[in-house]
Amino acid sequence: VLTVPHWIDLSGVFFFAMSGALAAYDKSIYRDFFGITFIAFITAIGGGTIRDIMLGIHPLAWIGDISYLLAIGAGVIIAVIARRQLLKLTATMLLFDAVGIGLYTILGTQKSLAADVNPLAAIILGMFSAVFGGVIRDTLLNDLPLIFRKEIYATACLAGGSLFVLLRHYAIDADIAAFAGIALVIAVRVIAVYKSWSLPKMGD
Amino acid sequence: VLTVPHWIDLSGVFFFAMSGALAAYDKSIYRDFFGITFIAFITAIGGGTIRDIMLGIHPLAWIGDISYLLAIGAGVIIAVIARRQLLKLTATMLLFDAVGIGLYTILGTQKSLAADVNPLAAIILGMFSAVFGGVIRDTLLNDLPLIFRKEIYATACLAGGSLFVLLRHYAIDADIAAFAGIALVIAVRVIAVYKSWSLPKMGD
Amino acid sequence: VLTVPHWIDLSGVFFFAMSGALAAYDKSIYRDFFGITFIAFITAIGGGTIRDIMLGIHPLAWIGDISYLLAIGAGVIIAVIARRQLLKLTATMLLFDAVGIGLYTILGTQKSLAADVNPLAAIILGMFSAVFGGVIRDTLLNDLPLIFRKEIYATACLAGGSLFVLLRHYAIDADIAAFAGIALVIAVRVIAVYKSWSLPKMGD
């Protein structure tokens, strides 16, 4: 079984909280400290919470271990202090987000397999882990969820999760399978943005 | 205890997935394969997922049994291939949807009673099973949920669920009670559309 | 352990249902009996349901004990009958709502502590108990959630929950700690409205 170092998991939470806090700045009505923190919190823990509730796993990570809440707090504070600098680093932010969804996808897929879920459902739950925080955030903001708007996003998660499941099925070492899956998510997502890839639309 | 044949349950999932996929066509922004499949998936499994999470039942049906995901896949593919034909069959689609909510209502009510839930809560959970997939779908699409807009919809589910609970209370055979409940949901819903029935609005 | 008398808990449900039903009147499209009841139901049980699902506590209060549904029914009926009188009593309604969120905050925080949750997560879950019914209600209505719009609201819950946790930490009697926490939520909220307090906005 893959044991992801705790600091990698916390880094994912930290980066998602930072990106959530920065997103809240786009909507001026959310610019008090509570609004920013609430959006950051939902973005950071939404996906994993939905996944664990669907799997019936308790306690939820952020409820059982206070370090998740501290990581969110750190992400919010750094985002608020360094927002001018961070918002200029669009390429860096894209990479942070891609790393975040890559980590969450594989963590979620792996956690689902460990709970004896069938591989197809595990891939879907891995994708949910990565994207659902953003879906709830966008729904609360009355925006069309990002996963429906952007260049290939959730599909990158499905691709990485599928690769991970496939490699594990052929008994490839768990760490290698995880790194390959995470790398595929990041690569597809980053290339999709730079090449403006999107899935083909269907006609009438 | 009523044991609904598995294929009936899967048919409900299949028809809801088809209607979800067709609904996604109305919003041109959702017209890539991921968007359509995601909306179809949420529509098909949303209600049952909310019900089982509220009841604390695990694993969720679609997580424990891969045939639900296959039924959704089949619904999406047929909806995409035959969309021009299907969208013309408005009367057929209405009937499919009415059959779907009828089945889900009675399945949900029965599952709740089996979990020792009081009859009133069981009727509410049966209605949730039938309508919540659509509520989440409409909320994600930034639409006013259908259950608030349409001719009598959720109320048909409450009527059918109540009849089922009542017949079971008087020890009527489970299969007969189920068929009566399903038939009442379908009848109320279909007649409501043809007669433009809606609940009376209240004044100021 | 604090044991809140059952009638206080039910009063909270009753007042939230009443305020939900009255809110539904603002949107004329929701003015049939089903729409009003559905919104009242979501407002009254949403926060506690989310909290208990996150904590993995079953059965949910309104599923295990029919008196919650009866309290909601009573709240809806009284709101519908007395709506003209009630809508004039804005000061009274504000106080009812403040009492409601005060009670739910401390009940939720206490229930979380009893489930061995760390104090910070318990305060967050207490706040969720109080505000999430309203968040779901506003999201279904396609409104910007109230907690992001209004004078200090969720922050009052966080303050009251923190005081409760602090007093309990120093082994203050549970009833005294609860009354102090509830009083702080009500005081902060009522003063915030009369003085138009809001959190400072952050600049660019």
ipTM of this predicted structure: 0.86
Q: Which residues in chain C land under pLDDT 50? A: 1
pLDDT at B1 over 50: no
**How many interface pairs between A and C have CB atoms less than 8 angstroms apart?**
61
Q: Nearest 5°: phi and psi at C32?
A: -90, 170
pLDDT at B4 over 90: no
B82: how many CB neighbours lie within 10 A of its CB?
A: 13
Q: What pLDDT is stored for residue B204 in this prediction?
A: 63
Q: Which of C58, C109, C118, C131 to mutate to test binding with chain A, by most A CBs within 10 Å of its CB? A: C118
pLDDT in tens, A2-29: 566 788 788 889 989 988 888 887 776 6
For chain A, the chains sharing at least 3 beta-carbon pairs closer than 8 angstroms are B, C
C108 vs C166: CA distance, rounded Å: 15
- For the residues B114-139, what does the mean pLDDT come to? 91
Please answer whether residues A17 and A44 qualify as being in contact, where contact means their C-beta atoms are separated by less than 8 angstroms.
Answer: yes
pLDDT at A95 over 50: yes
Residues of chain A contacting C198 with CB distance shorter than 8 Å: 32
- pLDDT above 90 coverage of chain A, percent: 54
Cis peptide before A119 (omega within 30 of 0): no
Q: What pLDDT is stored for residue A29 in this prediction?
A: 61
A189 vs A178: CA distance, rounded Å: 17
Name the residue among C118, C115, C127, C114 with its Cα closest to residue C184.
C127
B87: how many CB neighbours lie within 10 A of its CB?
A: 14
Of A135, A199, A204, the CB nearest to B32: A199
For chain B, the chains sharing at least 3 beta-carbon pairs closer than 8 angstroms are A, C
Interchain contact B82–A (C-beta under 8 A) = no
- For the residues A84-103, what does the mean pLDDT come to? 84
Q: Coil, helix or strand for A32?
A: strand
Q: Which band of pLDDT confidence, cut at 50, 70 and 90, is reported for residue A160?
A: very high
| A26-40, A100-114, A132-146, B139-153: segment of lowest average pLDDT | B139-153
Q: Coil, helix or strand for B60?
A: coil
C190 vs B110: CA distance, rounded Å: 45
Tokens 């004078």 -> residue: C151
Q: Which band of pLDDT confidence, cut at 50, 70 and 90, is reported for residue A1?
A: very low
CB contact under 8 A, A31 and C120: no
Q: Coil, helix or strand for A87?
A: helix
Tokens 């680093």 -> residue: A89
Q: Which of B28-37, B166-175, C3-12 has the highest mean pLDDT?
A: B166-175
Instruction: Return the ∠ at Cα A75 (arms to A70 and A77), rounded to 5°.
Output: 95
- For the residues A96-119, what does the mean pLDDT come to? 92
CA B69 to chain centre: 16
Interchain contact A35–C (C-beta under 8 A) = yes
